[in-house]
Structure 1
Amino acid sequence: METIVWKVDNIVEKLKNNPQIKQAADLLAQNEVVAFPTETVYGLGGNAGNDKAVEKIFSAKGRPSDNPLIIHIAGRKQMDSFIETVPAVAIRLMDAFWPGPLTLILQKKEQALSEKATAGLSTVGVRMPDHPVALALLKECGLPIAAPSANSSGKPSPTSAVHVAADLNGKIAGIVDGGPTGVGVESTVLDCTSPIPVILRPGGITREQLEEVIGRVEVDPALAGADAKPKAPGMKYRHYAPEAPLYLVAGGVGDMKRLADIYRGEGKRVGILATEESAPLYEADLVLACGKRERLDTVAASLYDTLRQFNEGQLDLILSEMFPEEGVGHAIMNRLRKAAGNKIIEG
C-alpha cells in the first residue's frame, strides 16, 4: 500500500476548504485509516462505526483487539448518536477542558459504534482534541473517529509525522503532517460512569486540575498493577518501549553513575535518560536529556522522541532517572513504568 503524506499548515484559516484535508477526510469516509496530529500525540484514525475500518487500525498497529479505542469528535453534538447519557460532572469537565487532552468514559448506546472499537464494553472513551488540523479533519469527515496513537504497538508514541512514517509507512492510507505535537503524552482518561470519577490513565490534564473543577477524583488500582479488564487504552500491555531494555533507577546521580560503570565494565553499551540539569554529569555510550526537572511539562513533551532516539545507539540497556509523581509527573512515570515493564533498580 502506498501511504500518502499531506503536509499542511496548522493555521486555522489555511485549513478551511483545504483540498488535502478533504482528501484525507474522504479516505476516512471510505473506511481507510489515516494518521493525524493532535495536541498530545499523532493518532491513527478510522471510522468508529465500521468494523472493517477498526480492524485496519488494529492490523496496522499490530495491536491486541481487546484494548478499547478512544473516539475523537469535533463537536459535542456528535455524541448524540452514540452516547446514552452525559452526566452533569462530564458536562462541567467538557466546559473546563474541551477541546483538550481529556478523555471521558461515558455510557454508550447499543449498536451505535463498532463493537471492535469499544472491545465489547458498554462504555466508550470520547475526547475533542485541541489541534487545528485534527479538528479540521474531524469536521470535514463528520464521523466519530476511533484513534489510538499512530505507532506500532509497544513502541513509543509518535510526536511527529516522521515517527508515524517510521512505524506505519506502507501500512496505512495516509499521514496528515501538521508538524510536531505539543503536550507529548496522551490524554488523561477519566471514568465518569461511577459515583466518584476515576482516573484510568494519567495524562495531559492532571488530577489536581480535575479536582479544582469537580472535587474528589480517585485513581484506578489497575494503575498500580492490579489485574482488571481495561476500560482505557494503555492499561494492559507493555507500551512505549525503546528497542533496548529500559530500567528505572531509584536513586540519585551517584547511584546512576555507579550502575552505569558496573554495566560498562561488563562490556555493555549503556544509555542514560536524564534531564538537562543532570545529563552533563554522566558518562555512558549515549546520554540523552529529556526536558528540565524543574519543568516536568518539558519532560512530557520530549519523552517519546527521546525514547525513540535511543534506538540509534545500538545499546544493550538504558537506565532512566525517575521523576516526582506530582502534576504531569504522574503521566511521565506511568509511561516510563510501562516502557520498562515495571523494572526498577534500587540505587
Structure 2
Amino acid sequence: MAHLGALNLASTTLRLRLVSRSDRRSADHSPGSDLTSWALNRIHWLTLRLPARDVQTKTPFDPGVFGSIRFAHQQSLIPLRGLRVDVVKLIRPDELPLAIEALEAGELVVVPTRRWYMICANARDHDACARIYAGKGRPRSKSLAYILPSLVAANDLFVMTPAAIQLASAFWPGDLAMILRWRDCEHAQQYQSVGVPNALVTLDSGILGQLAQRSRVPIAATTANLSDPTNTLGPAITAAEVENFVAEAEISIAYCIDGGISPLANHLTIVDCTETPAKITRSGVIHDRAVNAAITAFS
C-alpha cells in the first residue's frame, strides 16, 4: 500500500483498485482523461501513468482513508473513496542491486529475459514462493525454476549425467532448462518450490542470470502471468504487461526491472535428464533438432 505523498520516483505507475466493484475490466489512462465518474462507476482496476511530481494528496492514503489525487495541470480532484493504491515500481537494469536487496528481504521482483518477464523469489523462502503460487493460481505440482548462479553450482548441487553435461556445454547459459536430480536430497528439502528429488534448473545469460550470480540467496522464478489455460496471449513481454499481471493477480511486487520488449515470446526448452535417454518434455526457444543433435554428438 502506498502513501502517495512519499513517492519520489521520476516516473510512477499507480494502479487503483475500486474495491466496491466486481467488474474486473482494466484500462490505462493519462492524467488528462475524465477519470472520476469512469473510475467510480465502471471499473475494478484503473492504471494511471504520471510523473510523481504531478501527484498531490490531501491526506495520507491507507485502506479506509478517504483521499484524492490532484493533477498539477488539471483542476479537478479524483476521489479515492473505496480505492486501494498499489504502486508498481519500475527500475532500470543498472538498478539491479535494488532488486537483489528486495529479494534478500523476502520480497518478490520481476525481471526481463529474452523470452518473457519472470517473477522471482528466494528459493528457500517458502512464504515468498507461496505468494507466487497464490498470485498466479499455479498448481503446487508445477515447480518453479531454479536459477543457477554458475555452471559450477550445477555440478555441486545436481547429478549431471553425460547428456546433461553435453547440453550444458552446448546451450548454457541460454534458453534451455533441464530436470536434474539433487545430489543431496536432505539438503534439497529447503527448495521444495523448485522440486524434490528432481528440480527444474536453468542458467540464464541475461539480467536473470546476473540476479542469481549477485544475490546472496538462491533464486526461484516463473513466468509473469496467471496460470490460465484459456489465455492464448502468453506471459508478459513488456513492463506494461507486468503491471496488468500484478493487478489481476493482486500480488505485491517490490520492483519490476524494465528491460523493454522480450523479443522471443517463447518458453525455455525443457529436457528431462534424470533418465537415459534424455527426453524433451517441452519444446521452446531451442529447437528439438538442436537438442537432439547435442545429445547425439556425445553418444
Q: TM-score range by the shorter chain?
A: 0.5 to 0.7
Q: How does 1:175-324 map to 2 (within 5 A)?
A: 175-215=256-296
Whole-Å Cα distance in 2 between the matches of residues 54 and 186 of structure 1? 21
Note if contact 1:61-1:168 (Cα within 8 Å) is conserved in structure 2: no
Name the counterpart of 2:246. 168
Mean Cα displacement is larger for which, 202-211 or 138-147? 138-147
Cα deviation code 1:240-294 (max 9, x no counterpart): xxxxxxxxxxxxxxxxxxxxxxxxxxxxxxxxxxxxxxxxxxxxxxxxxxxxxxx
Match of 2:114 among 36, 39, 59: 39
TM-score (norm 2): 0.63
Instruction: Tell me if 1:92 matches 2:176.
Output: no
Distance of aligned partners of 1:3 and 1:140 in 2 relative to their CA distance in 1, 3 Å threshold: farther
Whole-Å Cα distance in 1 between the matches of residues 198 and 89 of structure 2? 34
Match of 1:152 among 226, 229, 250: 226
Q: AA paired with 1:136?
A: Q
Deviation at 1:115, TM superposition (A): 4.9
Name the counterpart of 1:277. none
Note if contact 2:146-2:202 (Cα within 8 Å) is conserved in structure 1: yes
SS at match of 1:78: helix
Distance of aligned partners of 1:82 and 1:112 in 2 relative to their CA distance in 1, 3 Å threshold: farther
Deviation at 1:68, TM superposition (A): 1.1
Deviation at 1:5, TM superposition (A): 2.4
Instruction: Tell me if 1:5 matches 2:89.
Output: yes
Whole-Å Cα distance in 1 between the matches of residues 154 and 105 of structure 2? 21
Whole-Å Cα distance in 1 between the matches of residues 162 and 217 of structure 2? 25
Identical counterparts, % of pairs: 26
Note if contact 1:107-1:123 (Cα within 8 Å) is conserved in structure 2: yes
CA RMSD of aligned residues (A): 2.2
Query: What is the aligned length?
Result: 205
Q: AA paired with 1:206?
A: H
Whole-Å Cα distance in 2 between the matches of residues 214 and 32 of structure 1? 39
Name the counterpart of 2:130. 55
Q: AA paired with 1:140?
A: R
Note if contact 1:5-1:177 (Cα within 8 Å) is conserved in structure 2: no
Deviation at 1:137, TM superposition (A): 2.0
Cα deviation code 1:208-228 (max 9, x no counterpart): 001211129xxxxxxxxxxxx
Note if contact 2:147-2:209 (Cα within 8 Å) is conserved in structure 1: no
Name the counterpart of 1:320. none
Match of 1:128 among 203, 211, 225: 203
Cα deviation code 1:132-175 (max 9, x no counterpart): x2222222214331111011221421111111110114512221
Cα deviation code 1:298-318 (max 9, x no counterpart): xxxxxxxxxxxxxxxxxxxxx
Whole-Å Cα distance in 2 between the matches of residues 183 and 143 of structure 1? 28
TM-score (norm 1): 0.55
Note if contact 2:194-2:220 (Cα within 8 Å) is conserved in structure 1: no
Note if contact 1:49-1:112 (Cα within 8 Å) is conserved in structure 2: no
Cα deviation code 1:46-92 (max 9, x no counterpart): 11122112112112212221211111123122335642x21122111
Q: AA paired with 2:166?
A: R
Whole-Å Cα distance in 1 between the matches of residues 287 and 276 of structure 2? 20
Which of 1 and 2 has greater Rg? Answer: 2
Where does structure 1 lack aligned partners over 5 or more consecutive residues?
A: 10-14, 217-347
